[in-house]
């Protein structure tokens, strides 16, 4: 890999000497006689390392260093000085220099220092590339789709992303609420600040206040050190409160105060802390019903519902199933070591006919399984999980000609029951307790139905 190094010195002979020495290592060397000239070179060429003299007429080394750190913060700079005092060396390092070398310098020492700086630059470039690829995947995952229902979501994102308004994302589980929240943050005016996500249903009620606002050492049993809460972690950035409908009523009042007054109070600390946080909340519950049932504070609901964005279920954007499936197949195929080029027409039709109770999350799980099973580059209908076809079989058993009745009512009802159970298991990744909750029955009743219908969970969910 060829590296480009810029040498800045007002002595032409020294520039030539360094160019000759570095060229032997396969480095392409650019030269500049002063700081202003160096900045012009940086504007035109992709430079991996700057080696600059300390004292130069006009813009000197410290001034050039400061300018580079402002314009190109990840570009390493090595400072050269004939005045190799500890003061100059320490000052340059404090101001952001990667390292320094003293004149007259040893060529071997120069090579070692330059190689370390270039290795550092390569690591930074790799990290930036991987971060960019990750951001691209996140953006694609959240923004794929061209159906009318999803275009309304994209329009809403574009309208609100630059504001600091509180957003409430609503929709069924698996519709991509966190991905939309990340897209809003990434394309908004806080993109370079933290994005902190909290699942309000996943944290025990007794720990949720400490998790949100932090605590002081000794505030309660087990508080062995100070803890910074999620609000402070997200300061100047975005706080994503997922499953906000599951938040206990006692804590809702404190969340409301934090949103209204922009202050928090850590547990065990009477001092208030100011926070600047953009809040995006999400729920799959009907919060107005929760308000009517006294399960959610009305004032908090209206504080959160400043800019609501309802996310459509996947069955309401059938046109997007195929492009989403193709994207998942391509990315998951790489993970599985396979090159998946697409789906057969029959496979796409089967996915379009399914109701997708688990929405995008269920589609991703389905495609992942199909990618593993597929023996060719094109995913066929038989590669798809069996539960996709259970509802179709149920429909054939229940939907009869007008004026007629099913020949076997018990068998038809059992088929419908089986299709619901299979769909719930697929959505919950085979977790029986969660599947039972999805269809509103007890775990014991769910287990009884599995046995009665001959459903083996380990054969359904991969």
Domain CATH code at residue 265? 3.40.50.300
Instruction: Specify if 266 maps to a domain.
Output: yes
Instruction: Specify if 194 maps to a domain.
Output: yes
Same domain membership, residue 324 and residue 305: no
Instruction: Specify if 134 maps to a domain.
Output: no
**Tens digit of each residue's pLDDT (9 = 90 or more) over 362-396:** 999 899 889 988 889 999 999 998 878 765 544 44
What CATH code is carried by the domain that includes residue 76?
Answer: 3.40.50.2300
Q: What residue numbers bound the domain in which 193 lies?
A: 144-312
Tokens (6 digits) for 133: 């690829």
Same domain membership, residue 450 and residue 436: yes
Instruction: Specify if 132 maps to a domain.
Output: no
Q: What share of the chain in percent tops pLDDT 90?
A: 37
Instruction: Specify if 138 maps to a domain.
Output: no
**Strand 307-310 vs strand 167-170: parallel, antiparallel, or unpaired?**
parallel
**Tens digit of each residue's pLDDT (9 = 90 or more) over 8-66:** 998 898 898 898 889 888 899 999 989 999 999 998 888 999 999 888 888 888 889 98
Within 8 A by CB and 6+ apart from 72, the residues are: 42
Same domain membership, residue 15 and residue 157: no
Same domain membership, residue 304 and residue 222: yes
End position of a domain, from candidates 260, 281, 312 = 312
CA distance 431 to 319: 30
End position of a domain, from candidates 261, 295, 312 = 312
Which residue do the tokens 């062995």 mark? 224
Same domain membership, residue 99 and residue 163: no
Within 8 A by CB and 6+ apart from 391, the residues are: 354, 355, 419, 423
**Tens digit of each residue's pLDDT (9 = 90 or more) over 436-447:** 877 777 777 788
Instruction: Specify if 383 maps to a domain.
Output: yes
From 232, 296, 241, select the one nearest 267 (Cα to Cα). 232
End position of a domain, from candidates 312, 343, 364 = 312
Same domain membership, residue 297 and residue 360: no
What CATH code is carried by the domain that includes residue 351?
Answer: 1.10.8.60
Same domain membership, residue 350 and residue 228: no
Same domain membership, residue 319 and residue 304: no
| pLDDT for 462 | 35
Same domain membership, residue 220 and residue 115: no
Same domain membership, residue 258 and residue 183: yes
Instruction: Specify if 232 maps to a domain.
Output: yes
Same domain membership, residue 327 and residue 278: no
What's the total number of domains in the chain? 3
Same domain membership, residue 47 and residue 36: yes
More confident: 422 or 262: 262
Instruction: Specify if 52 maps to a domain.
Output: yes
Q: Alpha carbon of 254 to those of 171, 237, 239, 267, 399: distances in Å?
A: 25, 20, 15, 11, 52
Which residue do the tokens 């495609």 mark? 367
């Amino acid at each position: 890999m060829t590296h480009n190094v810029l040498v800045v010195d007002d002595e032409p002979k020294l520039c030539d000497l360094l160019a000759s020495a570095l060229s032997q290592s396969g480095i392409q060397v650019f030269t500049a006689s002063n700081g202003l000239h160096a900045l012009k070179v940086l504007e035109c060429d992709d430079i991996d390392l700057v080696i600059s003299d300390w004292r130069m007429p006009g813009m000197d080394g410290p001034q050039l260093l400061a300018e580079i750190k402002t314009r190109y913060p990840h570009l390493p700079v090595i400072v050269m000085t004939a005045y190799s005092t500890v003061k100059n060396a320490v000052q340059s390092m404090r101001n952001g220099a990667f390292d320094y070398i003293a004149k007259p310098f040893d060529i071997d020492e120069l090579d070692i220092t330059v190689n370390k700086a270039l290795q550092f630059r390569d690591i930074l470039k790799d990290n930036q590339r991987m971060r960019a690829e990750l951001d691209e995947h996140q953006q694609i995952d959240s923004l794929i789709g061209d159906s009318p229902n999803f275009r309304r979501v994209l329009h809403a994102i574009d309208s609100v992303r630059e504001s600091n308004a509180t957003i409430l994302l609503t929709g069924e589980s698996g519709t991509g609420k966190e991905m939309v929240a990340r897209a809003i943050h990434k394309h908004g005016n806080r993109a370079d600040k933290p994005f902190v996500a909290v699942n309000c249903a996943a944290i025990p009620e007794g720990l949720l206040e400490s998790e949100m606002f932090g605590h002081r050492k000794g505030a309660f049993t087990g508080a062995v050190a100070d803890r910074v809460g999620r609000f402070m972690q997200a300061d100047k950035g975005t706080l994503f409160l997922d499953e906000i409908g599951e938040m206990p009523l006692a804590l809702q009042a404190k969340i409301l105060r934090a949103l209204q007054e922009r202050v928090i109070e850590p547990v065990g600390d009477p001092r208030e802390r100011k926070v600047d946080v953009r809040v995006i909340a999400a729920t799959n519950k009907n919060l107005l019903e929760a308000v009517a049932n006294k399960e959610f504070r009305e004032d908090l609901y209206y504080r959160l519902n400043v800019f609501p964005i309802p996310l459509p279920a996947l069955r309401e954007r059938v046109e997007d199933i195929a492009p989403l499936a193709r994207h998942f197949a391509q990315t998951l195929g790489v993970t599985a070591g396979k090159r998946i080029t697409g789906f057969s027409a029959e496979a796409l039709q089967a996915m379009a006919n399914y109701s997708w109770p688990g929405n995008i999350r269920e589609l991703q799980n389905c495609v992942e399984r199909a990618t593993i099973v597929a023996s060719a580059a094109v995913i066929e209908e038989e590669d798809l999980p069996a539960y996709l076809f259970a509802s179709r079989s149920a429909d054939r058993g229940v939907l009869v000609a007008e004026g007629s009745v099913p020949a076997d009512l018990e068998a038809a009802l059992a088929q419908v029951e089986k299709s619901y159970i299979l769909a719930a298991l697929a959505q919950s990744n085979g977790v029986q307790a969660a599947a039972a909750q999805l269809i509103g029955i007890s775990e014991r009743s769910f287990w009884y139905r599995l046995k009665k219908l001959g459903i083996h969970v380990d054969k359904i969910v991969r």
